[in-house]
Structure 1
């Protein structure tokens, strides 16, 4: 989960530094935080959090994914943006059904198959939440997971990104409370350098 403005500012600075030192090939990204411009001000938001769900041929997971998000303890402050990236399955009918009873669900459909990051970018343009997270269709959360992360960002305005450990399971559409764990993915402490060479923050 992250706040878009700080992530943009920090990583623009990082990439500028990398460009300046491209020929040296020995640049180590700074571990310190990058200050926001003095003139920076945050806009008002309609939601505390926007969850981006990209779907492609994942009809079998989508209902439980949406149920999982709507069960979150901050569901009343949560926007769900589903991006259908040219799927050949029937995700659209499922989303339209859920929209009848949940006014926090936004549906975007692309004309052609796009990669997950291109799909996320479509959603980022539409978000109305202060914070943004992705929710893969086969991911399931503890019911207070998003609340814990959002409260952490609210309590620490100098922090741009939060994440947690993960439980891997072989139980399709299992819940956080009902699953068979096959692995615990312990995520390392964040650093800009580590993130450049791998997704240390998980999925």
Structure 2
């Protein structure tokens, strides 16, 4: 690792060469001075690692059209006189876990209709050019808002995690991969299904 760092250009660092230190008793304050030579070290190692990491997650749809709140959900009026307007009904496709239980109606702020809940997605493998019908594990990132990510709202450009255990994908270490990310490429609320591309 040290040889690799020295080979790259970057910030100059002092290193001591023990072969150049003279024999015999040397005072402590001169120990570091003797036999020191300037070498170069890679200063932007962290930046390079970040670039490599960012390159891995290049998504098929890099830019997504922002949606307004009116498009995303509608206001539900509640109360005896229908004056309370703090409830929202989501118009988009969404995902909730298997053991999901709704809050009591009095405390439920966001309503996710059962007709708009999805548990499976059509996921295309870009290298194999084959589509599989896979279970959704969760919503990793919705570019519209972190609120929609936590609610599990699936819109075009959202990154979802799918169960790829049936595909038989294996890591370099020989372990079976059971969860991979995929980006949604269609508008699920219009088509009635979720189409996605696997991020390989």
TM-score strictly above 0.5: no
Which is richer in helix? 1
Q: Which has the larger radius of gyration?
A: 2
TM-score, with normalisation over the residues of structure 2?
0.24
Kindly indicate which of the two structures has a greater share of residues assigned to strand.
2
